[in-house]
Amino acid sequence: MIYLDHAATTPIPRAVADAMYEVLAERFGNPSSQYPLGADMKRAVEQWRRTVAQALGCDAGRLYFTSCGTEADAWAVTAACWQNRHLGKHIVTTAVEHSAVLESCRWMEKQGYEVTYVAPGSDGVITAEDILSAVRPDTALVSCMLVNNELGCLYPIEEIARGLAARNPKTLLHTDAVQGFLKVPFAANTLGADFISISGHKIGGPKGIGALYIGQRVKNPRPLLPGGGQEGGLRSGTEATAQMAGFAKAVELRTERLDEILDHMAALRAHAAEVLGAIPDLKILGGGPAAPHILSVSLEGWPSQNIVTDLGSQGICISAGSACHRGKPSHVVAALKLPKKVSGGVIRLSFGPETTFDDIDRCAEALRRHHDTRMPIL
């Protein structure tokens, strides 16, 4: 199998699975229990928190574990609006956010909020001024992702933060960094965002674990889940200790050789752009600064779902940049306002530490065969 869909999820290294198994089978205590088995788990949870926080570049006391990136996104949106409920009921976000942010904003619209959805250019680029020009005196929240999950475009969060500080310092800033964490260099303490969402299964960790950074400007954040007082009283519920152990181990493994991994993925992306760009009718999508692990392309005229199915039958895993329902493009692709033949043929390749140059070459060969042997129908 050739796996080129690391932006969707990542394989778990054996060391991560072993760390999780140890907690499941041997160190299974409840961190809230008072006897030694529970106390051991409580210390372990805080060590895992420190491990992830150090990689994120923040104090451990600012990091709260969640069940996933989606939960972290939803919590950030609602907590920011609660914090600024007396400032106003206006939110600025982008038209190309992950659905976790977009659906949370749509839910806030039902609560009486007005949302401005900033559209990208046809290359997927969104500038800081695009965002800042939509900010008003009553803007409670700006939510802009760090890396677009379909296009790989990198968005200027630090510049947006500086602009907000000058234009409307009370407005809070959230960034969905699920595709950026340990993929592009940044540190929570200097990025300027008040909320940062991350997820474990995008970096070799297990599914079912994420985290939310909450900055010091957020005073008395609204709890996501009231109850027994876990996660500083903000997200109650017995801790998912095995998932936390796996998340922390995945962070350790990646940070041990992060520069090497990022250089490898950047080289893979450059090689993929070169060999895929030689295929007739194939267009490279996305402009501006980009993350090293995502490349979005379009085989103009060939439906993306047909491409994904054809390559899947050959053991090559890629994803469709176009949604698979009723022939409509994804909301990200739709926002680019591309010609139908281009938008209908969008596919995404995404890479990880395990990806090889041979994987890229074999995928390119399969795409060329698909172009040469299938009739375009868009």
Tell me: pLDDT of 327 over 80: no
Q: What is the pLDDT averaged over residues 45-69?
A: 98
pTM of the entire structure?
0.97
**HSE-up (13 A, CA, CB side) for residue 18:** 4
Domain boundaries, the chain: 14-255, 257-373
CA dist 150 and 336 (Å) reads 12
User: 14-255: which CATH architecture?
Assistant: 3-Layer(aba) Sandwich (3.40)
Predicted pLDDT of residue 325: 43
DSSP annotation of 288 reads S
Cα radius of gyration rounded to whole Å, the chain: 21
The answer as to CATH 3.40.50.2300 being correct for domain 257-373 is: no
Residue 142 identity: V
| Residue 43, pLDDT score | 98
Lowest mean pLDDT among 101-115, 297-311, 320-334, 359-373: 320-334
What is the mean predicted confidence (pLDDT) over 331-345?
96
Which of 103, 110, 27 has the alpha carbon at shortest distance from 71?
103
Q: SS in 3 state form for 245-268? A: HHHHHHHHHHHHCHHHHHHHHHHH
The per-residue DSSP string of 291-321 comes to -TTEEEEEETTS-HHHHHHHHHHTTEE-EES
Q: What is the pLDDT of residue 338?
A: 96
Residues classed as catalytic: 324
Q: Give 170-229 pLDDT, tens digit per residue.
A: 999 999 999 999 999 999 999 999 999 999 999 999 999 999 999 999 998 999 999 999
d(CA 4, CA 364): 12
| pLDDT for 375 | 79
Residue-wise pLDDT for 210-226, tens only, equals: 999 999 999 989 999 99
Return the percentage of the chain with pLDDT > 70, whole number.
Answer: 98
Short-list 127, 113, 110, CA closest to 80 = 113
Answer yes or no: is pLDDT of 323 > 50: no
The pLDDT value recorded for residue 279 is: 97
Q: How far is CA 274 from the centre of its chain?
A: 26
Q: Which long-range contacts (CB under 8 A, 24 or more apart) does 262-266 make?
A: 262/183, 262/184, 262/185, 262/292, 264/353, 264/355, 265/183, 265/292, 265/293, 265/351, 265/352, 265/353, 265/355, 266/292
Q: What is the mean pLDDT of residues 344-362?
A: 98
Q: Which amino acid is at 49?
A: R
Mean predicted lDDT score pLDDT of the chain: 96
